[in-house]
Amino acid sequence: MKILTPAKINLTLEIVGRRSDGYHDLATWMLPVGLYDRLEINVKDVQSFESNLPELEGDSSNLVIRAAELFRRTATTDACYDIRLEKAIPIGAGLGGGSSDAAATLLLLNKLHGFPLTSQELHALAAQLGSDVPFFIDAQSAWCTSRGEVMEPREFPRGLWIFLAKPGFGVSTAGAYSAYTALPSLQKRGREVTTPWGVLRNDLEPAVFPKYLLLPVIKDWLTKRADATLALMSGSGSTIFAVVQSQSEGESLNAAFRQVFGERVWTSVCQLNPECSRLVASLHRSQISENFDLRE
């Protein structure tokens, strides 16, 4: 059984405070992005894991494997799985790729086993795996609070596109938050930008930018472009995104970007806020239908 797992961006990311468990309380607007990993899971006699990225091990350092183990324990099954993961979403990018793969694993296994877990149980398991994982159970535009796992759907227009740029390095989320903790309080706030969707910012930018000097250079270059409505870092980086009006605008921005920054920065032009929730909804018990919408 196969599923496409979308990426996300944080349209805005406000850090509201420090929690007693060491995490930070957030207020963040997350949107799915039309860039997908491809995950395939089948029940087999022995456990196996295969990926197009050799650095991804089939052990508990891998969020997909942790998701499978958590599912097995919770649903009390001793089944083994053949798991294949084709990554298109870069790692350490702030695009939620690993979280999306983990959420997709829970959804696929729940379907494979005849829906033993409810949607609430899946959300609870997702929250144990990571702060961003619950977002990908629904994969729809949402205002997210607490660690990021408390979600409220929020309307966002369809039809816009996004340009993504990620340099050859990634940023560790834990490292970004600890750099944020060390900042003087006056610097604990990203630069605000007024947009059609409100005043937006990313409070992790002042924590990440001083260490990764190429990121503010990319952001400033995108901000000055008349065709980019908004340029911000996504999550803890290292991706900087720019919202554009159409695919062709995104492609011409991409061409101009490559002339300046060269070929060593990974870039992508994708749909912003594509309809992925139908795909995910089809994996919930309430939505089983003849029209099973698992994309190949």
With a CB cutoff of 8 Å and minimum separation 6, the contacts of 213 are none
Q: Residue 284, exposed/middle/buried by CB under 10 A (0-12, 13-18, 19+)?
A: middle
- Name the residue type at position 22: G
As measured in angstroms, the least distance from the Cβ of 291 to ligand C5P is: 34
Nearer Cβ to ligand C5P (6/96)? 96
**Smallest gap from residue 175 Cβ to ligand C5P (A):** 8
User: Least distance from C-beta 35 to ligand C5P, angstroms?
Assistant: 19
100 vs 131 by CB, closer to ligand C5P:
131
Whichever of 23 and 292 has its CB closer to ligand C5P, that residue is: 23
CB atoms within 10 A of CB 256: 13
- Catalytic sites, residue numbers: 8, 132
Report the SS3 class of residue 4: strand
Are the CB atoms for 134 and 124 separated by under 8 Å?
Answer: no
Residue number with the smallest Cβ distance to ligand C5P: 131
> Which residues of this protein are in contact with ligand C5P, per CB under 6 A?
23-24, 26, 130-132, 147-148, 173-174, 177
Q: How far is the CB of 158 from ligand C5P (least distance, A)?
A: 28
Between 156 and 177, CB nearer to ligand C5P: 177
CB of 109 to ligand C5P, least distance (A): 20
Residues ≥6 apart with Cβ < 8 Å to 52: 85, 86, 87
Q: Please say which residue, 148 or 206, places its beta carbon nearer to ligand C5P.
A: 148
Return the structure tokens found at 102. 């983990």
Residue 237: left if φ>0, alpha if ψ -120 to 50, beta else—which one?
left
The torsion of the CA quartet 91, 255, 195, 31, rounded to 10 degrees, works out to -30
Angle (nearest 5°) at CA 46 between 43 and 49? 80
